[in-house]
Amino acid sequence: MYQPPSLLEKWSQENNELVNKCKQQEAGGGAVSQDHRQSSLRWCSSEFHKLLRKIQGIPPHVDHSQLELAVVYNTCVCFTAQSQFSEAELLLKEATERVLQVTGNNADTSDPLVLWRAGLKSAGNTALHPHVLYLLCLQWALWLAKCQLENIGELQEQMSSLCEIVCDGVGDGSPSEAKGRLSKSPLLVMEPKRLTELLQICTSIAQGAEKLNEGRSSEALSDLQAASALPATRALVAYTHLLSGSCLAHMNRPQMALQCYKKALETDSRCVCALYRSMLIYRQLGNTQAEIQALRLLHSTLMLPPATEPVLGGIQPLSPSLLLSSQSLSRLLSVPSALSVLYSLALKCVLSGRVTEGVEHYLDLLAALHSEDQHAVDAEVSVLPRMPELYLEAGTALLFTRRPADCMAFCNEVISTTLELVPEKVVLEEPEEGIGGDARGLSVEGEDKVAMLLWAAAAYLVQGHCHAHLKDWKQAVTHYTRCINLLVKVHLKNRDFQPQIPAADVNVKHGKDLCTLQRMKGLSLAWRGISFTQMDQLREALRDLQLSLQAFPDYTGAGLWCGEVLWRLGRKHEAAACWEKTWSLTTQTSVERYLILW
């Protein structure tokens, strides 16, 4: 087949112009928007593809192959950058087949691995070899992006030799010769050396995450530590440290893990995940102060405006995020939203006795929730408690800081919202397995009536506490009575169901509801009893306190007060027995969050 000599030059000129245009757009890409980048990328890939089709319109030929492979490389880079993996893969396959044709071998397999091996072998030591290697780089990138790590493992030796060759800068032959050839060879959109470096570290990270996921922590650790020495951007190096930390945490070496997280943060200050992971370790270690500190830092980092990616020698068309899309990795890198971090912070502060600080955080959280800037955009299921519970927790915290008026306002809010919806009668059925599931998934209309009732009752209970705090015993009795009246609307369906408090770890919804119900009954009755005691209505007080002990025998306060009332009534033996019994109880059980505070 005869071809005019100018065609090859024309094509290679066209290729070089396109590459230059691409690079220009990327160089100026810092300022322009993501949209613009996308569209220019789309344009480039279609142009490259057009050129490629022109070149592939004629049968493969040795003279053209070098140019053709370069254009295939450029086209595939553009396709991959747009996540059009299947198109890119098809191009690579065709290119390999054509290489085989040129070198006189025929490909009768569709298995990519076999095809690649054959392609590399046939191209070996010819001028085409470096170009075939570049394409293998891209195939590598595709496998990585599609999380097909096993394929990469299969071609491990080829890959490592590839790294050596590509990173040395030249292929085979003497340097001067190579240089002469390189100057003539067509331009490439992305330097293969840089691509290889990127691929090496990304592969290490992805493989590390995979191994960590499979529980092979120590194996992953050595790989990751080796990878941390590879040349790469700060963010990627930080990832290797982060994953090493996770491996260590998995191997029960929290202090070393903390060191790794610290290194990750030092490498890349925006590595929030490291902060989050450290916080989890502090929590695990029971170091509350450090945990609060980490939470605070995490929150303020998350509140920062989203980072603009630092430009390191121009934006590359292939970004690391494209190559690091495996699920196990994203699970490792996920960080809760700013709001839930704030919530954890507030709760932790209150529980660890830094109530004033906690109240501030609670108020910040509620303000954030009410602000116009807050929008329902968190795709992940929020770990925040439901709104009324948040109100009640905040209210209780306020009461702790001796702001009963504010607390009452919060409770009023909850009561006014929920009370209208509380039914006359609620039937609480025997706990059933399988009902569990996300409460937010329930239809709104059938929103859990029990929850509504418990919220209203709890709000009354806290209001009662407010009045008790103000020593307004009469009002307190009124509110405790309202609470009790609400609580008795709940009917247990199963008669022989033991009204015994289940173990604290029962997470079945209704079991939890039942537990809360009993506990609240006990508390409200006990506190009405206490209020009656303060008002010297000892008979009523005794009745309530005894009922309270029936409902919730673990509450030591009721036992103590019961003894007190009995003593005052002159029933000293009974009082003594009561006290004795109360002291013998081991008291520490975990209680619902907003009730443990009392």
Give the whole-angstrom CA distance, residue 118 versus residue 120.
6
* Contact assessment for residue 467 and residue 473, using Cβ atoms and an 8 Å cutoff: yes
Rule CB under 8 A: say whether 395 interacts with another protein.
Answer: no
Q: What character string, x for contact with another protein (CB under 8 A) and - otherwise, covers 31-50?
A: ----x---------------
Q: What residues from 305 to 344 belong to the interface with another protein (CB under 8 A)? A: 337, 339
Residue 536 is a binding residue for another protein (CB under 8 A) = no
CB 508 within 8 Å of CB 431: yes
- Does 108 bind another protein (CB under 8 A)? Our answer is no
- Please, which residues bridge with residue 291 across strands? none
CA atoms of 380 and 242, how far apart (whole Å)? 22
* 3 state DSSP class of 225: helix
Confirm or reject binding of residue 429 to another protein (CB under 8 A): no
Q: In this chain, which of 59, 180, 423, 499 binds another protein, going by CB under 8 A? A: 423
Examine residue 412 and tell whether it contacts another protein (CB under 8 A).
no
Give every CB contact of residue 309 below 8 A, 6+ residues apart in sequence: 315
Which of 38, 109, 284, 374: binder of another protein (CB under 8 A)? 374
Is 496 a binding residue for another protein by CB under 8 A? The answer is no
Binding to another protein by residue 381, rule CB under 8 A?
yes
Q: How many CB atoms lie within 10 A of CB 109?
A: 12
Q: Whole-angstrom Cα distance, residue 316 to residue 195?
A: 9
Nearest Cα neighbor of 454 from 472, 435, 439 is 439
Q: Which is nearer to another protein, 2 or 183 (CB)?
A: 2
Q: Interaction with another protein in 138-197: which residues (CB under 8 A)? A: none
Site for another protein in 433-472 (CB under 8 A): 440, 443-445, 447, 449, 452, 455
- What is the number of other CB atoms lying within 10 angstroms of the CB of residue 374? 11
Phi-psi region of 500 (alpha: psi -120 to 50; beta: other; left: phi over 0): beta
Among 183, 308, 425, 498, binds another protein (CB under 8 A): 425
Integer angstrom CA distances of residue 161 from 171, 322, 465, 505, 597 = 11, 24, 74, 55, 64
**Sole window of 172-180, 226-234, 364-372, 581-589 interacting with another protein (rule: CB under 8 A):** 364-372
Which one of 213, 225, 259, 417 is in contact with another protein (CB under 8 A)? Answer: 417
Smallest gap from Cβ 29 to another protein, in A, equals 18
Residue closer to another protein, measured from CB, 240 or 463: 463
Q: How many residues bind another protein (CB under 8 A)?
A: 37
Cβ partners under 8 Å of residue 67, min gap 6: 8, 11, 12, 15, 55, 186
Strands 490-492 and 426-428, bridge-based pairing: parallel
Q: How far is the CB of 371 from another protein (least distance, A)?
A: 8
| Minimum CB distance to another protein, residue 340 (Å) | 8
Per rule CB under 8 A, is residue 84 in the interface with another protein? no
Of the CA atoms within 13 Å of residue 512, those in its CB half-sphere come to 13
Least distance from another protein to the Cβ atom of residue 366, Å:
9
> C-beta of 365: minimal distance to another protein in Å?
10
CB of 11 to another protein, least distance (A): 22
CB-based contact 68:52 (threshold 8 Å): yes
- Diameter over CA atoms, the chain: 121
The yes or no reply on residue 422 touching another protein (CB under 8 A) is yes
Nearer to another protein, 370 or 495 (CB): 370
Q: Which of 387, 506, 560, 597 binds another protein (CB under 8 A)?
A: 387
Radius of gyration of the chain (CA): 34
In 324-354, where does DSSP find H-type helix?
Answer: 327-333, 338-351
CB atoms under 10 Å from CB of 550, counted, come to 14
Cα angle at 248 between 245 and 249, to 5 degrees? 85
d(CA 112, CA 140): 11
Note whether 430 binds another protein by CB under 8 A: no
Question: Binding segment for another protein among 3-11, 74-82, 235-243, 373-381 (CB under 8 A)?
Answer: 373-381
* Per CB under 8 A, 503 contacts another protein: no
Question: Of these, 376, 495, 507, 588, which contacts another protein (CB under 8 A)?
Answer: 376
Q: According to CB under 8 A, which one of 108, 157, 168, 420 is a site residue for another protein?
A: 420
| Segment interacting with another protein (CB under 8 A) among 275-283, 393-401, 417-425, 528-536 | 417-425
Interacting residues of 235 by C-beta distance below 8 A, sequence separation 6+: 268, 270, 271, 320
Footprint of another protein (CB under 8 A) = 35, 337, 339, 369-370, 372, 374-378, 380-382, 384, 386-388, 391, 413-414, 417-418, 420-425, 440, 443-445, 447, 449, 452, 455
